[in-house]
A and B are shown apart, each in its own frame.
Chain A
Amino acid sequence: MPELPQARRHAGELEAQVLAALWAARTPLTPQDVQTALGDGLARTTIATILARLHDKGTVGRTKAGRGFAYTPTVEDQAGLAARRMRSELESGEDRSTVLARFVSDLSDDDERLLRELLGEAS
């Protein structure tokens, strides 16, 4: 990965977080909704700028909502197909190579119990 300047890399990280928030929501989000969802004290103007940029790229669509816009992620025609294919890739069992670092591995029943206990203490 080429080294990006700090500011541009930061912008990429914010774009990713905003897109993640839009996909997590099942309804269109206004910049204020996104601000609440991210919950890390970003200025609303910053978020509005990022949303506008994502809209320019065609990554998100928008509808008029009050005095501003509400945004939803653009659904690609072939996205469902892509997801199904990826799922079958990941499920093809132990014959898979380990080169994809997955965020979480499978849990045994005991793991699940232990994890719930740990999270109970954490929250």
Chain B
Amino acid sequence: MTFTVWAPLLLPFLAAPLARRLAEALAPRTASWVLAGTAAALGGATAVSLALLTLAGLLRLPPVAALGHLSPHWLPDGSPWTAGAAALGLLAVTGLALRAAHRQYADLRRARATAARAAAAGQLTVLEDERAEAFALPGLPWQPGRIVVTTGMLRALDGPERAALLAHERAHLTARHHVFLALAEYTAVLHPALRGLRTPLGYHLERWADENAARATGDRALTARAVGRAALAAARAPRPHRPGLAPAAHTGPVPRRVAALLAPPPSPRRAAPARTAAALALAACLALAGSTALHATTELHRTVEAAQGEAHR
């Protein structure tokens, strides 16, 4: 098999940083779609590559070749080690994806069971807890999502700020941001280079919901204050441990969101040359990943047909 089967495995190392850079220059909603689309396309191409490499290896095994009426003589050259490694990779990736799916399912089921016991009105569920916390609990096709907020969070904000918080969480549910998050989680398992897309995607989804809340309340400064005061209230309660906190290494997401809300709304119609270049480069990478995966598939298919024809002769 030629190099085309390898291209989808190498391209993410180039395309993922490009997508992150491009997202920085885009409005939150577009940025989220670019990041999620990149993750989906590259993840899909990676899976196809691994499957093709494994399949090519399997076909060279005499029992499999006999089963498919193939003449091994016609099959592509390839080291059994490559096929073995690809098979292991495919197994590992499948296992990890199943584990991620199971974990998400279990988390959601537990959170739903817990929320079902609490006070509710409209989409809001209130948990009695002095610690400030709020999140969107995605629904199921037959059951709408819920906005879960603790009493500690409700008491940290005033009336208009609470309206901004509710509008923010409602935006998450309406735009189904949990699908984006789940997609990023699965593709991160498929290719190590795609792991780096999760954090920026999470950030841009929050920004997307922030912008929707600002539109719903008609007040950017109010929305900024709601986000900022909520974060300060959440930080006030001592936590047993705070994993993943880099001490002062960089500015965290919350101050960036507040600063973005205090700035004028993002205007989508100002394409800088650097942005256009990044967009073109990313589009080229994705097109290449897709076409090489397709090419490698048709190539294997053709070889198998040729080998079958030879065996029948």
B166 to chain A, nearest CB (A): 6
Within 8 A of B (CB), among A11-58: 11-21, 23-24, 26, 37-40, 54, 57
Q: Which residues of A contact B252 (CB under 8 A)?
A: 105-108, 110-111
Smallest CB–CB gap between A105 and chain B, Å?
6
Q: B138: nearest residue on chain A (CB-CB)? A: A99
Decide if B134 touches A119 in the complex (CB within 8 Å).
no
Known: A14-B122, A18-B121, A110-B251. A122 touches B127 (CB 8 A): no
CA distance A90 to B158 in the complex (A): 25
Q: Does A6 reach chain B (CB closer than 8 Å)?
A: no
Q: Are A115 and B254 in contact (CB-based, < 8 A)?
A: yes
Residues of chain B within 8 A (CB-CB) of A101 are 135-136, 169, 172, 177-178, 181, 202, 205-206, 209
CB-contact partner of B103 in A11, A20, A97, A109, under 8 A: A97
Chain B residues with CB under 8 A of A18: 121
Q: Are A19 and B119 in contact (CB under 8 A)?
A: yes
Interface stretch among B6-14, B106-114, B301-309? B106-114
Nearest Cβ distance between residue B149 and chain A, in whole angstroms? 7
Report the interface size class on chain B: 35 or more
Q: Digit string of B39-79 for contact with A (CB within 8 Å is 1, else 0)?
A: 00000000000000000000000000000000000000000
Q: Does B299 contact A (CB under 8 A)?
A: no
Q: Assuming the A-B contacts A99-B182, A118-B262, are A16 and B123 also in contact, with contact meaning beta carbons closer than 8 angstroms in the complex?
A: yes
Q: Which of B221-250 contact A (CB under 8 A)?
A: 221, 224-225, 227-232, 234-235, 239-248
A93-123 contacts to B (CB < 8 Å): 93-112, 114-116, 118-119, 121-123
Set A2, A95, A97, A111: member contacting B254, Cβ < 8 A = A111
In the assembled complex, the CB of B130 is this many whole angstroms from the nearest CB of chain A, namely 9
Q: Which segment of B20-28, B140-148, B264-272, B274-282 sits at the interface?
A: B140-148
CB pair B185 A98 closer than 8 Å: yes
Q: Given the complex of chains A and B, what is the CA–CA distance between A67 and B234 in angstroms?
A: 39
What's the nearest-Cβ distance from chain B to residue A108, in Å? Answer: 6
Q: List, in ascending order, chain B residues with CB within 8 A of A103's CB.
A: 133-135, 153, 165, 168-169, 227, 230
- Complex formed: what's the CA distance from A101 to B135 in Å? 5
- The yes or no answer to A64 lying at the interface (CB within 8 A) is no
A108 close to B124 (CB less than 8 A): no
Q: Closest CB of chain B to A62's CB: distance in Å?
A: 15
**Are A23 and B126 in contact (CB-based, < 8 A)?**
yes
Q: A54 touching B121 by the CB < 8 A rule?
A: yes
6 further A-B pairs in the complex, CB-CB below 8 A; given A24-B154, A118-B262, A122-B221: A13-B123, A83-B118, A83-B129, A93-B241, A98-B181, A106-B244
**A–B complex contacts, Cβ < 8 Å, 28 sampled:** A13-B122, A14-B122, A15-B124, A16-B124, A19-B126, A24-B154, A24-B157, A37-B158, A40-B163, A59-B121, A73-B126, A82-B127, A83-B129, A85-B110, A91-B240, A96-B107, A99-B108, A99-B178, A103-B133, A104-B134, A107-B254, A109-B247, A109-B248, A111-B231, A111-B254, A118-B228, A119-B232, A122-B221
